[in-house]
Structure 1
């Protein structure tokens, strides 16, 4: 059975006239009749009652017409859906992200992506960068919004933003009276640190530049800033963290603090148009 035979059958069933059906299909009548005869032979029963003046569907033909029409409609939809998937317009995109991305670049990226690709289902999973690396390797997520560095030869990373870090101190802290500060002057103050398991790169840079006296560690910046507000210590945080705590925390510029970078990571062997579309949008949005 060939797809051409099914199209011929539908044309005859809709026109109930071989001449008009042949014209509709841009073919002559003899090959059209041959297609119908071959189809009936393969099925083992007649689809039409016909004579020189009249063509009518048999009971089997009417049933066959309904189901063939549904099959061909689904086949046409399948082709359209496949084209949309090829263009990255439909499907599912699973994104991992560090928590700090939600008060930095992630909300705008997601909002714009959903506007451009409303038929794409976006699944989100909050997780630290090391866990995203593992999830990417095991194909549990398609793309990660991560904090560099990414030291994995199977993954590709693109830097999409970088901003200076600030020093967060409790309101009224003596350092707020300082006109200029350098990172090396902070070693005598107690530090609240974001855990190394959350962001190893920043943790190591703070150790190298500030030589801090660590009094407490936390897994999220929101917790870090809450502890700073409570007076437990000072902390080095990304500039975007100012969106979280302003009432009881002051933010100071300090010379020599590291920058806070954000990147996208994905598997090098990925060939998904959805991943490509998200990377293009994020790159354009952040001017990288």
Structure 2
């Protein structure tokens, strides 16, 4: 039994898809299917019910998947420990799942610095929908997750990371543009571009507006900051967004950000991981690095084509 085949089976099981697992490992779908079939022949039982869509694990498959996850985790930890003893270096594999709005440029600075400090660490960052971040961490596909309004309980532990000031965002030329601050009463009755209702940030904004007795007229809903900014930019509606997310548009004169008086609206960002899983040395080092200010990092040259895998997901940027 080859560990790579076990890894591929685990990805098929967690993603419920041969094609997605094949893409993750840069192999063909037919090869992925053949690998799982070979495992089934070796074990003498079906592991995956291929008649279901999405795919479902059989009872034997669930048992095998659970055991394989533990096996891979143990093996990777063993490799990490051996490398550290032999080379006295931080080594290992760290997979990070992040929401898009953590800030791609800032995240890139963290990854570059990690590659400089810990070249033996295999680091990759994927950008996903918030629900997918939790799924990746829960299934052990990701070591760490970067999310807003993080859950802390059940299967997840959360480490505080950042707090971002939330501001009123208005189009250039809006009646509230140019002000240093506005009251919550000024927001009441405005046409409003909101996040979609299932997102934690939307629920929190709804609570804030309700507490301030500032009802708004929701005219558009999106599941990502980029689309909200574009909708505000081309229309007359307003939005409430993290201040760092609109710095570029404000500097270009496309939008204006205005503080709301007498409130302290903030979006917390957190680092999540599985509660009962001890983080590796490499993962802990990356968590420590995330708590540093990237503005203090030494300037580095262009990143070479071959990297430790700061892999931006090819999903469209439609995430919070």
Same fold (TM over 0.5): yes
Residue 237 of structure 2 corresponds to 233
1:263 paired with 2:262, answer no
The CA deviation at 1:84 is: 2.5
In structure 1, which of residues 280, 283, 286 is the aligned counterpart of residue 291 of structure 2? 283
Please state if 1:119 is matched with 2:120.
yes
Structure-2-length-normalised TM-score? 0.58
Per-residue CA deviations over 1:44-101 (Å, capped at 9, x if unaligned) read xxxxxxxxxxxxxxxxxxxxxxxxxxxxxxxxxx999723289772222110011111
For residue 177 of structure 2, give the secondary structure of its aligned residue in structure 1: helix
> Mapping of 1:131-280 within 5 angstroms?
131-176=132-177, 178=179, 180-197=181-198, 199-200=199-200, 202-210=201-209, 211-246=215-250, 247-255=253-261, 256=263, 258-271=265-278, 272-280=280-288
- Mean Cα displacement is larger for which, 79-88 or 221-230? 79-88
User: Aligned partners of 2:125, 2:228: CA distance in 1, in Å?
Assistant: 24
Q: Is contact 1:104–1:240 with CA below 8 Å preserved after alignment? A: no
Gaps of 5+ in 1: 1-77
Distance 2:110 2:79 in 1: 30
2:103 is the alignment partner of 1:95: no
Following the alignment from structure 1 to structure 2, what is the Cα–Cα distance between the partners of residues 266 and 215? 36
1:109 maps to: 110
1:238-260 C-alpha deviation (Å, 9 max, x unpaired): 01112342332111111226202
Question: The residue matched to 2:123 in structure 1 has which SS?
Answer: strand
Secondary structure in 1 matching 2:154: coil
Contact 1:101–1:145 under 8 Å retained in 2: yes
Gap change, CA 1:206 and 1:104, over 3 Å in 2: farther
Q: Distance in 2 between matches of 1:138 and 1:79?
A: 21
State the Cα distance separating 1:270 from its structure 2 match: 2.3
In the alignment, is the contact (CA less than 8 A) between 1:145 and 1:262 conserved in 2?
yes
Partners of 1:196 and 1:244 lie apart in 2 by 27
Contact preservation (8 Å) 2:180, 2:259: no
* Higher Rg of the two aligned structures: 1
Deviation sequence 1:113-137 (CA, Å, 0-9, x none): 1211122222221113222112211
- The two structures have a TM-score, normalised by structure 1, of 0.64
Structure 2 alignment gaps of length 5 or more: 1-77, 210-214, 295-320
Is the Cα–Cα contact under 8 Å of residues 88 and 274 in structure 1 kept in the other structure? Answer: no
Deviations 1:223-248 (A, max 9, x none): 11011101151111101112342332
SS of 2:126's partner is: strand
The alignment's C-alpha RMSD in Å is 2.6
Residue-pair matches, total: 207
SS at match of 2:182: coil
2-structure distance, mates of 1:220, 1:114: 29
Tell me the secondary structure at the aligned position of residue 188 of structure 1.
coil
SS in structure 1 at match of 2:170: strand
